[in-house]
Structure 1
């Protein structure tokens, strides 16, 4: 049975958890009363069998064991052996009423701390007080011994880790071996390291455990979530201490494996860079004092230093590989030369292809070997100036290949030191294609400058950036007057806004616009031009400019209109010729029959007078037909003596017949005008065109 203190008693400071091994309830109560009288307030439990005592010890901790010597089913010596088998150091007092002196001495030798007769229980409290002090002294001594042993093991682990740091260059092996060294010496029960990945999150890297809980300890390595204590340690400086049962440990496999142990966590940090977090489980009863934390932080610092070194070495190796790759894959030729001897130390693949030498042959060459003899003095002077840092670019240097052919190159340089020797790094760029492009561009620029058509270049907002001389010749605007302006300064008003909206819509869609437009010159005169406007695109296909090629077609349109008019007149003449021939046949019949009829009539006959008028009108019609035939005549040029007065009169008679009656033609013809040598038909055509 168990005794419980009253509400008043629970406030007393001398509480003691006492396991009483006694088969008699009354004797147990006597022991409790003696303890209370001695200033203790026991929280007690009575047992009288081996099974009950083992169960009580496993269920909860106790401060003292008070045992009877002899019981029907159990005994004091048995109870003492149970305590010793479990290596539990508690005050063990024997209280008996029938124990002899030899028996008492035997119990003391066996490990009991004192024996008290039941008739003298007033000695119980002082004896217990004394033994509690002795137990505390022994506990502290054991803890100190354990601490020293633990620190020695930790120091051995640190030495082992430091030995790894000096020789291990592989990060994974370093971390794995470090965790194993930390637990192999029994300095720590378990160790785990998580590293910070590229996203800034913790990822498991290595882990080791000392005893049979390895499977549970390794479980976090198979999960994506780091222990919560690691996350907290990542956010703070110094070692974080998590005592057994901390809320942070809930659900953590490390806690499940090492329950009732203290955990230390800290960042792996060096030179301001956090590489990850390391965590260890301390052996039981090892306090995480300042010395413990200091040693742990030293281990973490050593590992962080090693990680930093491995990272620097890896970065150096990557840099070397990258620089070598850049060196060998550079499109420009690269040569490294000794600044004093001017002999080449190394060359990349491009310079080998450029010169026609192998890498081994390059190393046997000097500056003078890759230039024509007549250029050596100039080249060496440029080399010396580059080596002194006076210039960085030597332009248009002649370079001689292995086969003797020569090309030009721009050589950029950078002085540097290699293994204590001054060197010069030269970058060779073959400018043969550039020279050809420059020549081609010069020809193109000359063509644009001398083109007969006006050429205008604008940006995408329509601001003029360039006009060629033909533009000034056609419009009268000088380049300085239009560059920076919008082409709208030439608007004539002949095109409406809808026309310009269609114009810019076509260009904005990336298409070419072609058509005609009436624009205005600087002097205000209007002119017509035929124009093609095309977008100019960059390498990505984006429109950067517009180029317009424009041709003044005003004179061409005028000539076209004249040609059309001439063709119309020719067509009219052809039509008139056909009509005149048919009409002439009709007039021939009229004139012939009128003359026959007139000859049959007497002179004084009224009909004869009428027929005379018919013949006069027919004669006029015949003259008119003759004039039409003259206008439409299509014969070979035949020059002859011609009186222009007659041709003018014929033309005027023809025009009077074709013009409205509201138009009056007045003529002033010099009768004394001399004849000229000309084709009558062509002269008649000239007068009609006028």
Structure 2
């Protein structure tokens, strides 16, 4: 190559001085012409990166003029990022080439994207500069961006599809997987691209089946069973077709599928429902909105005797028995035509004219406009049940004739039958108790005999004994109970029969009889002892009185007075015993007593016996009706109860006396008392003392029973005896350390007149 001259003539005949150095080897004019023909900007720089040569294409790319580039370095002229060009220069000086895309500066602060290639220029093996090629790739980039936009647009269309779109290569490797596919399968796109499509099938041979079918026809449609990432399977309807290139050769398969699991489930449900209706034991028929039969199931034909062909096209009148009124049918049609369900028990007629009972339900079926289009009738043959019910009603009438409570329960003790005897005994009607557990409301679960009954019935199939129960009003009753297990035709236990006889009155009579006998024997003994003691005490008192007269000034006089006091207490005790045992004429001296006046008159006498540490509250309304009572005995009752209350409060407390009118419903018995219905005056005496334990409550009215060291045990027994003789009764409520309340109920004059014919009113 010849030496290059120091002055280069530009194709536009412009001279660039000093743009070439003598050590650049440039070929002849043919090479120069070739450089100008290249569709790329060419720039030659020296080792200082000062531009030595630029072809016409370069000027057209960057819009710089000759004057703009004279003496300029490449980096100052074209590159805003000095670091990247510095790295490239270092590579060139080491003899390496560079190639990259970058953005270079254009005149007037513009820029252009170019593909840059650079190589070192050597002279005798030494790098003396470099040659740079700048290819304008703006159109290429624009085309590339258009392709990307087109691809993105197509991808957006694919991803916006509600159907699953999956593309595979001919060897069934997944190359496309849209968003709907992601949502259905549970895989992300990156997880499946490049994987074999068998990953998505529950049946491994499905993909082969599709490919083989495509080879024959180029298209395939059908149902396939897919598998999600979590292992769940689902059904989809797949439409697949071959993808071919410009020459018509297949390059892949495009599949569009839709999840049809719900549809399959619905279809399966319809099939199952249809199959179930066909095999249903109940009769089913469907009519149009005019009542024309369109479908009957086999159970209908079997029960009625009409064939399917005979029934379809007819109306339900074919089974009409004539046993129902026109009003019944008007009500039925009005109900179902209004869109409501109609239920009833009907008597229908078979083809052979025989009658049968049926429990029917007619349901209207509406269309999307909420208009009735069809009616579905289901019917259950209840003929045998109706016959059985009739027999049961006959049995029930027989069972209702007895006063015993006859109860039938299932094996969980839930009541299924409750006769009128049970209603009378317990107070609950059959409607109130059927379906409830018998032990829940009779409160028998705490009775030891109940637990014994449950255990015995399991082993022996029957049990008999006494149970303590409660009626609806909360009153305790005692029943003699007989339990028997009932079995069906197969010998299986199905129910429990309980027959209860109320023996409460008998038990009370037994207790009262035992108490009366005890009281009678105690009374006889006490009366005999009292009279004997009275015969002893009388001469003693006479003798003491004589000795006192003779020894008024003697030292023994004080001792005689003390002795007289002791004997007098003995005489008082004898009088109390005689009062307890007597039912004589004293009781018959009854007077009309107004309690508020009576309490005012006796208040001071009672208060004198009460400690000052005990506060006394008396509340006796003036409008309380009068009672008939013996004043001295009533005073004895009040005194004994108040003294008992005082003794229960050794540290002091509150004694309260109240009175109120009350009405007692029904006749019943309490231990020692026969309570009659009517109006009573309730006199309550309450204390805040130590209370009475539960085990002692049953004994407090027994003669000579006492918990006090110096007590006689006759106070409360005397109260008991007096109240009973006045046709009243007593109730006691007490709790240890929470006080005691004695409620004395005495009949008003009106009530007393109805229960006693032997009262002598002393004016």
Structure having the higher helix fraction is 1
More strand by share: 2
Return the TM-score normalized by structure 1: 0.38
TM-score, structure 2 normalization: 0.35
